Amino acid sequence: MQGGSYTKFHTKLADLKTAHSERLKEAKSLLRNSAFGSAIAYGIYAVEIYLKVRICERLDLEALPRPFQIHDLDGLLVLSGLSRRMDELGVSPIKANWEELTLLDVSDFRYKPANSWTSEQARTILSQIDHPRDGVLRWLKKQ
């Protein structure tokens, strides 16, 4: 049988589940080691990977199909089935944090020198992701 692109599974759900929390821990470790740009990038990876976990769970799949291996947070939120819930937050610090995160392009972090980002900026982003009350990742996990 010829498989379409939807049958080409790659990343396993079990791996994604482990990876998202590991990326967040690594982001915090990179921040402590003054690697601010990398800390920001790893924080965003954690959000991206967690949304991929939710896509797999929603579709009852054990691995993420290739067409869903995208990095666009807008798209991942739609595919995870959580975009309406995010919109329904209305004017909320969580939504404001999400909108800040969607501005960032992770590919920028690959090619720019480390001094392009400050400690305060890295702390801001990691707080937007993991703040106990208003963090995007914390909110996503409660949905």
Partner 1 sequence: MAKKTITTVEPFFSANRLQRCLRLVAGALTKYAQDKGWKPDSFGIFYRVNEDWGRVHIIFVSEHIDPQTKYQNYVDVLGYLRQTLDEDADLLDNLSLVTRSQEQVNQGGIYEIGPGYREYWTMNPDRSDPQFIQ
User: Which residues are near partner 1 by CB under 8 A?
Assistant: 40, 72, 74-75, 78, 87, 91, 93, 96, 98-100, 102-105, 108, 116-118, 121, 124-125
Provide CB contacts within 8 A for 143, sequence distance 6+: 54, 82, 85
Q: Report the residue number, 19 or 128, with the smaller CB distance to partner 1.
A: 128
Alpha carbon separation from 136 to 33, 111, 143 (Å, rounded): 24, 26, 11
Q: How far is the CB of 74 from partner 1 (least distance, A)?
A: 4
Q: Report the residue number, 19 or 48, with the smaller CB distance to partner 1.
A: 48
Q: Report the residue number, 116 or 143, with the smaller CB distance to partner 1.
A: 116
| Cα 113 to Cα 110: distance, rounded to the nearest angstrom | 8
Contact 51, 76 (CB under 8 A): yes
- 91: helix, coil or strand? coil
Place of tokens 């702390």: 123
Q: How far is the CB of 110 from partner 1 (least distance, A)?
A: 14
Q: How far is the CB of 87 from partner 1 (least distance, A)?
A: 5
Q: Which two three-digit tokens encode residue 64?
A: 């993420």
Q: Report the residue number, 57 or 102, with the smaller CB distance to partner 1.
A: 102
Q: How far is the CB of 62 from partner 1 (least distance, A)?
A: 25
